[in-house]
Chains A and B, each alone.
Chain A
Amino acid sequence: MTFGSWVCLVAPLAGFLAITLAGTRITRSQAGWISTGSVFVGFAGAVVAFLDAWGRDAEQRVELTTAWTWLKAGEFQVGLELLIDPLSLVMMLVVTGVGGLIILYSNGYMAGDDEERRYFAYMSFFVFSMLLLVQGGNLLLLLVGWGLVGLASYLLIGFHHERPSAVAAAKKAFVINAIGDAIMALGFFLAIAHVGSLDFGAVFGAAESGELSDTVVTLLALGLLGGAVAKSAQIPFHTWLPDAMEGPTPVSALIHAATMVTAGVYLICRTHLVFEAAPDVQHIAAILGLATLLAAGVIALVQWDIKRVIAYSTMSQIGYMFVGAGVGAYGFAMFHLVTHAFFKALLFLAAGIVIHHLQGEQDMRRMGGLRTSMPFTHLTFLVGTLALVGIPPLAGFWSKDAILSSALDQGGALGWILFVGGLLGALLTGMYSLRLYFAVFHGAEYAGRHEGVEAPHVEEHGEGPRSMTVPVGVLAAGSAVAGLLQIPGVWHPFENWLEHTVEPLVHASVGEEWLTSALAVSLGVLGSLLAWRAFTAGRELVPEGAIRRTLEHKLWFDEIYDAAFARPAQAAAVGLRDRFETPVVQGGLDEVAEGTLRGASATSAVQSGLLRTYALAITISVAVLALIFLVVR
């Protein structure tokens, strides 16, 4: 198990280093193949580790392997250790599997770009960082991986660095992630102070056993939650994700759909013992998830850019995962993570084929009727959309409803609010996803239903190269069948796989599960029908007016943050510069320099060159010395 895991971790790193060090000695497509190969080798390693673990009993599936002691400060030690257990194996398989498919797709999508090598190097680097995050055996290594994926995200969002909007989006993502990182680091400082170690065992043991006071545990949990919320783009740290769509489409698929943004969910599941010791914080996580779920759902109703709709959809679905983790249904949250990785990556990649085919067009209003000219993409996109809405037997149905039934089982006011909110979210999901689907694939060719929009140019050769269509096909197949890993009442291998590692707090009964499913599916279908009706009538789901304007401004979050944080910070910076730095600091230095110069020129006046002055000086000195000798003697 450990060998496979080390191979899994090191292969993408080797790929990254190889591409970086080879530089221009390899061709651009060779860089692509190196990157793809390295990640698939990592996938093979993960599969080997998985098969090994599968053959063992549940209790023996945990292994902690240390490379060497990395950091030592007095009593505090941190080792370069990996923790391989069912939870990390799930993530490893998802990251390398879906990641490998997306990088394979990138070979076709990014072909012809001048800086392809840089792109593939960054992609391999990202996969390595994400693996470090999920395999990290202590909180510090997790934090290292956490920071590195943030870096990779920044580098890849700003990949088209000649575009100012892309650079700005990259900065925004990084800054908001840094806020989350800082909050998490503060939590870690508390852990070091009170527990003396950052090893999972030590921290979780201390949290569980009641050794730490309530305040400390709550603060630690809040720190972890802060980091998770920023990385997973939940309210209030969500504003970076829609802008992150400035990056190339495969980047959006990999980082901002399948893997990085789900790191927050993984974190909560991994540190669930801390959250269980601070149940209030866990409930806050669920509530934030619910808020994001609904907010993102309604905002998606008025977006025109394909990628933004899918981005808000991602935000919404991660909200579901937070709800799951918040009520203690860790297994189901992870299950939704896996199925979501499949169908969200599928949606992004299929959208990428459409964008590629239309030579860069991303506005829904300039598309339409593509189901005849792009049948394969149409089918796969439809599969992804239906999986997202949660239509049986596709993947999303099984996972989303599992979370909702867990919320129902939770009971109490919180449980009911989450349940009803989640169902409302299912309705919204139906509405915005089908709106997108119809606008792109149905209606007149390049409908341009709104005036003054002309038809875009079209490429003439097929839907796309095989490197792009094969991964999309594989992901579509995955979206179709992956859900069948969890059929309530019949078999649940996924739940069993994770049960020992992350024991869930709630166990929904079979009746609850089927009831929830019935409600969720009917609402999803209702939403789809509403979208269909609006589409055929040629109108928008949200009519013009104050509500629409608020949604178009994304609930004014950007404006509020700008007024509350960005402008005051800039004003403070300018004020400090004008009132402190320039006069005091710079002025002080200037004064010192000038003083030295003045002293020097005054002193140099002594060297007049006049012989008699020097003679006088000697005479006076001798006289003084003689006097001193006489007095002292």
Chain B
Amino acid sequence: MSGPGVPWYLAISAILFSIGVAGVLLRRSPLIVLLSLEIMLNSANLAFVGFSRLFGEMDGQVFALAVMAVAASEVCVGLGLIVAMARRNLALDVDLFTELRG
């Protein structure tokens, strides 16, 4: 096959993952945290597909689809939470939600 080798895709995946982690740890808005989480999930997807290409097996690609399904449901729940917070006029800041209290 032509084009860049599989290692390059894995490198991109790693970089994307680090960017995602940095976003989760450093951003205060829950919306941006969710976004970073999506980036991480996508980087994992990329890695799955790259390995699938490397070994010639379809398992990686199939699992990438499964990951996408999970990501979608998780975003629904997460956005639902954020909408609920906004409806109560709470400040959208992860640092403020330190207690498990209604």
Residues of A within 8 A of B (CB): 608-612, 615-616, 619
Contacts and interface: CB of A to CB of B under 8 A. Distances in A.
Interface stretch (B41-49, B84-92, B93-101): B93-101
A630 to B, nearest CB: 14
A610 B98 contact: yes
B95 A612 contact: yes
Contacts of A610: 94-95, 98
Nearest to B27: A612
A611 B25 CA distance: 9
A609 B101 CA distance: 11
Contact of B98 (A608, A615, A616, A619): A608
B98 A612 contact: no
B34 interface: no
B21 A612 contact: no
A609 B95 CA distance: 8
A616 B24 CA distance: 9
List the 10 shortest-distance A-B pairs measured between CB atoms, nearest first: A609-B98, A611-B94, A615-B24, A616-B25, A615-B25, A609-B99, A610-B98, A612-B25, A619-B21, A610-B95
B45 to A, nearest CB: 19
B14 to A, nearest CB: 12
A616 B97 CA distance: 16
Interface string B70-93: 000000000000000000000000
A612 B98 CA distance: 10
A169 to B, nearest CB: 68
Interface of B: 21, 24-25, 94-95, 97-100
B21 A611 contact: no
The A interface is mostly helix, strand or loop, or mixed, namely helix
A27 B74 CA distance: 86
Nearest to B99: A609
Nearest to A622: B21
Contacts of B99: 609
A615 B95 CA distance: 12
Nearest to B98: A609
Contacts of A619: 21, 25
A616 B23 CA distance: 11
A556 B21 CA distance: 92
A611 B24 CA distance: 10
Contacts of B21: 619
14 contacts: A608-B98, A609-B97, A609-B98, A609-B99, A609-B100, A610-B94, A610-B95, A610-B98, A611-B94, A612-B24, A612-B95, A615-B24, A616-B25, A619-B21
B21 to A, nearest CB: 6
Residue among A609, A611, A615, A616 with max Cβ neighbours from chain B (10 Å): A611
A615 B25 CA distance: 7
Contacts of A615: 24-25
Nearest to B30: A611
A501 B95 CA distance: 98
A275 to B, nearest CB: 84
A616 B26 CA distance: 10
Contacts of B97: 609, 611
Nearest to B100: A609
A619 B36 CA distance: 14
Contacts of A609: 97-100
A619 B25 CA distance: 9
B2 to A, nearest CB: 32
A307 B44 CA distance: 105
Given A609-B99, A611-B95, 8 more contacts: A609-B98, A610-B98, A611-B94, A612-B25, A612-B94, A616-B25, A619-B21, A619-B25
A611 B78 CA distance: 14
A619 B18 CA distance: 10
Contacts of B95: 610-612
B68 to A, nearest CB: 23
B80 to A, nearest CB: 17
Nearest to B26: A612
B84 to A, nearest CB: 16
A205 to B, nearest CB: 82
A611 B21 CA distance: 13
B8 to A, nearest CB: 21
A183 to B, nearest CB: 70
Nearest to A607: B98
Nearest to B24: A615
A611 B100 CA distance: 12
A609 B96 CA distance: 9
Contacts of B98: 608-610
Residue among B95, B97, B100 with max Cβ neighbours from chain A (10 Å): B95
A612 B97 CA distance: 11
Contacts of B100: 609
A625 to B, nearest CB: 15
A610 B100 CA distance: 11
Nearest to B97: A611
Nearest to A611: B94
Nearest to B33: A611
A96 B73 CA distance: 97
